[in-house]
């Protein structure tokens, strides 16, 4: 059973992750900060003609702001990821059939996973956001490889239908990034910097045994 995090100290701002993604929750837990999780309830439909990077940035900020409206004194993290194939946005497949289509489209090509993060504290008028693009080169994949991968890992809740932290690494030839957790869904180097700027330093505030966040 996961241990609930300790409460923040009086001088330490409350931290809320504006996402129900298990991947982002697990990544944020690496910073060993007590945090809560709250669903942002944001419409993720792209705007007409919206570029993938712009979509990711807009949604990350919208998620953080939506949750910050409920927790105005807290530091709230929002994040979003969009796969960029020649300027076209590729989101979560949701179904096996769409995942097959996505992997076929990315086979043998370079795809940029646009991962955006925003940190907001309404009470302090603090707003920060950044983009961590990750260049990923896919191998030329056979239909048999695609089918087997999807049956084994079922990555239907992942943008681009691949989990690089799991078997999905075998789909790839190379990954280029300056923030190594960005491809999984939350760029922790950028996140830690924004939290420091917002008054929460992970190195001085980390709890020794924090394992995971709790639901709000």
Q: How do residues 81-122 score in pLDDT, each as one tens digit?
A: 999 999 999 888 999 999 999 999 999 999 999 999 999 999
Return the closest-CA partner of residue 206 out of 16, 36, 28, 74.
Answer: 28
Residue 159: pLDDT band (50, 70, 90) is confident
| Integer Cα distance of 157 and 136 in angstroms | 18
Q: How do residues 24-72 score in pLDDT, each as one tens digit?
A: 999 999 999 999 999 999 999 999 999 999 999 999 999 999 999 999 9
Beta bridge partners of 176: 135
Return the closest-CA partner of residue 13 out of 198, 188, 193.
Answer: 198
Which positions are annotated as active-site residues?
80
Helix (H, G, I), strand (E, B) or coil at 121: strand
Structural domains for the chain: 15-215 (3.90.950.10)
Q: What is the pTM of this model?
A: 0.87
Cβ atoms of 46 and 204 closer than 8 Å:
no
pLDDT of residue 5: 41
């Amino acid at each position: 059973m996961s241990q609930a995090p300790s409460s923040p100290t009086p001088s330490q701002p409350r931290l809320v992750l504006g996402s129900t993604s298990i991947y982002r929750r697990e990544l944020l837990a690496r910073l060993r900060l007590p945090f809560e999780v709250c669903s942002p309830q944001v419409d993720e439909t792209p705007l007409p003609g919206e570029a993938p990077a712009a979509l990711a940035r807009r949604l990350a900020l919208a998620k953080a702001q939506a949750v910050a409206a409920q927790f105005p004194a807290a530091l709230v993290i929002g994040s979003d990821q969009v796969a960029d194939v020649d300027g076209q946005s590729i989101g979560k497949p949701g179904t096996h059939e769409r995942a097959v289509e996505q992997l076929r489209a990315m086979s043998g090509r370079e795809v940029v996973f646009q991962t955006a993060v925003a940190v907001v504290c309404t009470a302090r008028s603090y707003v920060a956001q950044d983009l961590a693009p990750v260049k990923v080169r896919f191998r030329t994949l056979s239909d048999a490889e695609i089918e087997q991968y999807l049956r084994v890992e079922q990555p239907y809740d992942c943008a681009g239908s691949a989990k690089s932290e799991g078997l999905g690494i075998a789909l790839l030839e190379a990954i280029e990034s300056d923030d190594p957790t960005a491809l999984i869904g939350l760029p922790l180097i950028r996140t830690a910097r924004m939290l420091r700027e917002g008054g929460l330093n992970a190195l001085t505030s980390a709890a020794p045994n924090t394992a995971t966040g709790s639901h709000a």
